[in-house]
Amino acid sequence: MKQILQNISNGETQLVDVPCPKVDKGSIVIATRNSLVSAGTERMLVDFGKANYLSKARQQPDKVKMAIDKVRTDGLLPTIDAIRSKLDQPLPLGYCNAGIVLESGVADIKKGDRVVSNGYHAEVVRVPKNLCVKIPDEVDDESAAFTVLAAIGLQGIRLTQPTLGEAVAVFGLGLIGLLTVQMLRANGCRVLGIDFDTSRCEQAKEYGADVVDLSRGEDPLAAAEAFSRSRGVDAVIIAASTQSDEVMHQAAQICRQRGRVVLIGVVGLDLRRDDFYKKEITFQVSASYGPGRYDPAYEEQGQDYPVGFVRWTEQRNFEAVLDMMANGVLDVKPLISHRFSIDRADEAYEVLGQSSTLGILIEYPKVEGDILSSPIVKLQSTSSAASSHVGTGSPVVGFIGAGNYASRILIPAFKLAGARLQTLVTKSGISGVHHGKKSGFAITATDLNAVWQDESINIVVIATRHNEHAEQVCAALESGKHVFVEKPLALTLEQLNEIDAVYKYVNKERRDPLQLMVGFNRRFAPLIVKMKALLSAKREPKSIVMTVNAGSIPREHWTQDINIGGGRIIGEGCHFIDLMRFLIGAPIVAHQSVMMGSAAGVYVREDKATITLSFADGSFGTIHYLANGGRVFPKERIEVFCGDAVLQMDNFRVLKGYGWTNFGSKRQLKQDKGQRACARAFLDGISKEGLSPICYEDLMESSLTSIEVAEALRRG
């Protein structure tokens, strides 16, 4: 299928062949009929992409500060690499979609239903159930494509809370502004529209608004004074897009005492206190198209808000807009200025921003047969080497997941280690196409069967969200593939036991056992390898202190969700449990842990904890895993006390020895956490030695300990 993507680094808009998304529980797969270009949001994204690095930095000063902090801790080269990688990510454009359901994982929506959603500009999209609404028979597909954009204006109106007969000013008469004018008129309000574009002012007049045409030098203050009968307008809705602060200043000036100002556009916010103080004006920013926006529980997990407590969610706002269209109250046909087929998408973005442009519709062909439902896209011709089977040829890899870590670190690591990259599977298909082409994969897909059923693939690398790891590990082993899974191996004891059972079953009768490896890469970092070599000469018990300045992660981030990410101890703390197990070189026999206590105003999670491990040889170690530190301090510090000597390593860049006869210090030019060496060791273990570089028992022990520690912390 075809989809419109944007390159953030240069602003280039591309039409790309992408594998169709697969339906899952709680989602709907839709064949798009029409999608609407958001003139404001999409133009802003395109302009940002076309800007040079200096301009991008000026627009995001908070990101600049983060980059400076990263340079201090990780070094210049890793920081530059991270920034380039971030800018290299393809951005799917569009969020106003109307189409017909191809597949449904939702009870009340079935195949063949006409629906609107916030889906992208793509021939086929997948959306969660709370972001999809059926289209009434009275509303055609072109009109329905305006639903999401109109819902943005509707949410601004709801926050304004206008009553019958009130006077409301609307700054900015673009698409959202004109839609807002119509809905305010339907609500019984008197409306004053303000804009620089004469044609848009004329359109607002047709909808029953008084207007101020700024291009003709008309004074908005004087006009508002007359319009409000010298009382000041009751409310102002700002739908404009400008960096100037003057819009906010004028909005406050034309308001009456205790008036309301709601922002649904993007304007300068250097507010003047007196503007709002003297009149006690209320100012509020609207969050897109309604309650539920940016809430993962609502949007991703499908948890609705009770209607008795939240009457208007984003989904119910969609319904309200469609009802107004069906009743003839909201007429969007006059707002359509251009129509382009999906094949002419580049032309659509060329006219974006022109004064005559309002509603740009993208039109899509009807689905014929299975042409658009293919979950596989060939990126390049498959070589004859693809016929190799497990244990009989070079490593042929199927990758599952192409997120930031997989695309930046794991895929290049396996490629440099000599693996042939065959298939890249991702959920949306977007990152699969981008990183698949960039890295040289033969195929990208959205269906896992593309990996399980391909006999040429003998190795599977799993880099998906943590809750998917256990099931995918078992499926890969049952398909006869060696498995490298990015940590963690599992989230629960039940999952760990299931993996253990499958691993032992599939290897019971095999002459060439399948290997299972977890991405505990820190074992393979050059400075850790040096530490291990130095410690091997010491036979007495060791004491280790690991300080992990993990940094805070928002509580709504998926890694903090116990059911998805497993929490940070299982998700990341397992790295340090395994690393300590490696440095000590003896089994873990006991563990204790304590979490920061509750305090007023402090969000307490397991990511502020201390873990103490005891080992069979008498050694012990403490891991301080802390999310409440600062970025300027090293993220990871390891100190080992043993035999009248100390080793100290900071951030995998500097290793110092105190009291060692033949060692003083070692410094890396750049941070190296061992990812490339880890991938190489795994492939070498399969092709040359037939043994995993981390023995199976160690993997299970580190994983089991991580789960037990996390559960103990949660119990308190």
Q: For 627-663, write each residue's pLDDT tens digit.
A: 999 878 889 999 999 999 999 999 999 999 999 998 9
Tokens of 310: 């939240």
Among residues 185, 179, 171, the alpha carbon closest in space to that of 239 is found at 171
Separation CA 663–CA 99 (nearest Å)? 68
Are 399 and 424 spatial neighbours (Cβ–Cβ below 8 Å)? Answer: yes
Residue type, 331: D
Give the chain's residues under pLDDT 50. 371, 382-392
User: What 3-state class would DSSP assign to 362?
Assistant: strand
DSSP notation for 20-61: PPPP-TTEEEEEEEEEEE-HHHHHHHHHHHHS-HHHHHHH-H
Which residue is listed with tokens 């951030």? 651
Pinpoint the alpha helices (H) of 161-308: 175-186, 198-206, 220-227, 246-254, 273-277, 296-299
Sheet of strand 13-17, all strands in order from the earlier edge strand to the far edge: 13-17, 2-7, 90-92
Quote the pLDDT of residue 387: 39
Quote the pLDDT of residue 604: 65
DSSP label of 546: E
CB atoms within 10 A of CB 288: 18
Question: Bridge partners of 192?
Answer: 169, 210
Quote the pLDDT of residue 73: 65
Quote the pLDDT of residue 386: 42
pTM recorded for the entire structure: 0.85
Quote the pLDDT of residue 633: 85
Pinpoint the alpha helices (H) of 285-416: 296-299, 314-326, 345-351, 404-405, 411-416
Residue 473 to residues 301, 383, 448, Cα–Cα distance (Å): 24, 27, 12
The gap from C-alpha 448 to its chain's centroid, in whole angstroms, comes to: 21
Separation CA 643–CA 657 (nearest Å)? 12
Are 155 and 284 spatial neighbours (Cβ–Cβ below 8 Å)? Answer: no
Domains of the chain: residue spans and CATH: 2-145+332-363 (3.90.180.10), 149-285 (3.40.50.720), 376-515 (3.40.50.720), 521-715 (3.30.360.10)
Are 610 and 628 spatial neighbours (Cβ–Cβ below 8 Å)? Answer: no
Quote the pLDDT of residue 601: 63
Which residue is listed with tokens 């794991």? 410
Separation CA 532–CA 530 (nearest Å)? 5
Separation CA 360–CA 368 (nearest Å)? 25
Q: Which residues have CB under 8 Å from 231's CB, separation 6+?
A: 167, 256
DSSP notation for 618-661: S-EEEEEEESSS-TTS-SEEEEEEETTEEEEEETTTEEEEES-S
Are 337 and 353 spatial neighbours (Cβ–Cβ below 8 Å)? Answer: no
CB atoms within 10 A of CB 280: 10
Quote the pLDDT of residue 384: 38
